[in-house]
Amino acid sequence: MSKLPESVEERFSAALHTSARLWRLALDKRLKHLGIGQSGWMTIAMIAKSGAPMSQRALADLVGVEGPSMVSMLDRLERDGFVTRAPSPTDRRVKLVHLTDTGKTVYAEVLAEASPFRADLLAGLDPQALAAATVLLETLRKRLEDGL
């Protein structure tokens, strides 16, 4: 039985999914020495990049996990001294997550591994093709965020 050729849309979808997964797995291997998994260092990175404390719900959305999974992750990160949680000054039902100094140190280590990894992976790619791919992915993200 011969395989039917895939459409460019199917190839794109498969390439996007597989590339993103492999990128995270490769980076996770480089960050094993931190003693926290992918969700942990991604959560720390999201808080650090935001520049301000984030709600647990916003973090769950960014990391791509359900609320209860984020609560469990934050319980572990708080227990290990990477984050603290405090009620929002504007809504006591909302918990804001802050990085501790230890969490900031971990984020610096994540950057120290992720930046050269990304540079090596993207080295030699056509800058115009990379820019076009970036615009395409940002457009797709916006469509998905807007509910298509």
Whether the per-residue pLDDT at 5 is higher than 70: the answer is no
CA-derived radius of gyration, the chain? 18
What span, in angstroms and rounded, lies between the C-alpha atoms of 100 and 82?
Answer: 5
Terminal alpha carbon distance of the chain: 37
What span, in angstroms and rounded, lies between the C-alpha atoms of 22 and 39?
Answer: 15
pLDDT for the residue 62: 86
pLDDT for the residue 67: 85
Q: How many CB atoms lie within 10 A of CB 70?
A: 23
CATH number assigned to the domain covering 31-115: 1.10.10.10
DSSP 31: T
Domain assignments of the chain as residue spans, ordered by start: 31-115
**Mean pLDDT of all residues belonging to the chain:** 91
What span, in angstroms and rounded, lies between the C-alpha atoms of 148 and 143?
Answer: 5
Average pLDDT in the 129-140 region?
A: 95
Highest mean pLDDT among 36-50, 57-71, 99-113: 99-113
pTM (predicted TM-score): 0.79
Q: For 53-76, what is each residue's pLDDT tens digit?
A: 889 989 998 888 888 899 999 999
pLDDT classification of 1: cutoffs 50, 70, 90:
low
Q: For 117-128, what is each residue's pLDDT tens digit?
A: 999 999 999 999
